[in-house]
Amino acid sequence: MSSSNAVPSPTGAGQPDRRRADARRNHRRIIMAAHEVFAEHGRQATVPQVAERAGVGKATVYRSYPTKEDLVAAVALEGFEKLARRTEAALALPDPYPALSGYVIELFACLAEDRILADVLSDPVGADAVRITELLTGLLAAAKTSGSVRQDATSMDIQVLLCGAAVQLIALGERDPAVWRRYGTLVLNSLRP
């Protein structure tokens, strides 16, 4: 995840943050700590671990995020927004296959560093994962017209190949971005005619 100052707010997207300065500070610390803890432990991380890393009580975390899944969603949101922007940028490139191949390799490298995003992306019914899959399907369709991708390739193929590889790499505890990029290349090769 990026180190940008944009932090998901429990007040909701587009809503002004009217909390006290100390509450905003605690919120930023919680999100930053959650990024670190989830990157290290994935979904097995606990709210008490996040609270300890943030230097706040777990009640402070639960005030903004009533469940661990709420906290996971807030942490993953920033990653999904970045992925959506990257996918849209790849769709805008004039040559679809280099756009697809560059994007897939970059995506695998990104997922190597962000275990929670990789885990959440593999959820086939999550709204954010569905949006990324739809954008990636558009990129796949454009690459098919260039003849560089199998004509029978589908969005399900993308989900199974990409998310399946990500799930297995997470399960194996693999953290090396070079290994993740290698599997990105294998996914791309499986889509070639």
Contact 91, 103 (CB under 8 A): no
Domains and CATH numbers, the chain: 21-70 (1.10.10.60), 72-191 (1.10.357.10)
Q: Residue 49 has what pLDDT?
A: 96
pLDDT reported for residue 189: 94
Distance of alpha carbon 88 from alpha carbon 96, whole angstroms: 12
Q: Kindly report the pTM of this predicted structure.
A: 0.73
pLDDT digits over 91-147, tens only?
899 999 999 999 999 888 888 888 788 877 777 666 777 788 888 888 999 999 989
Nearest to 65 by CA among 30, 14, 21: 30
Question: What is the model's pLDDT at position 5?
Answer: 40
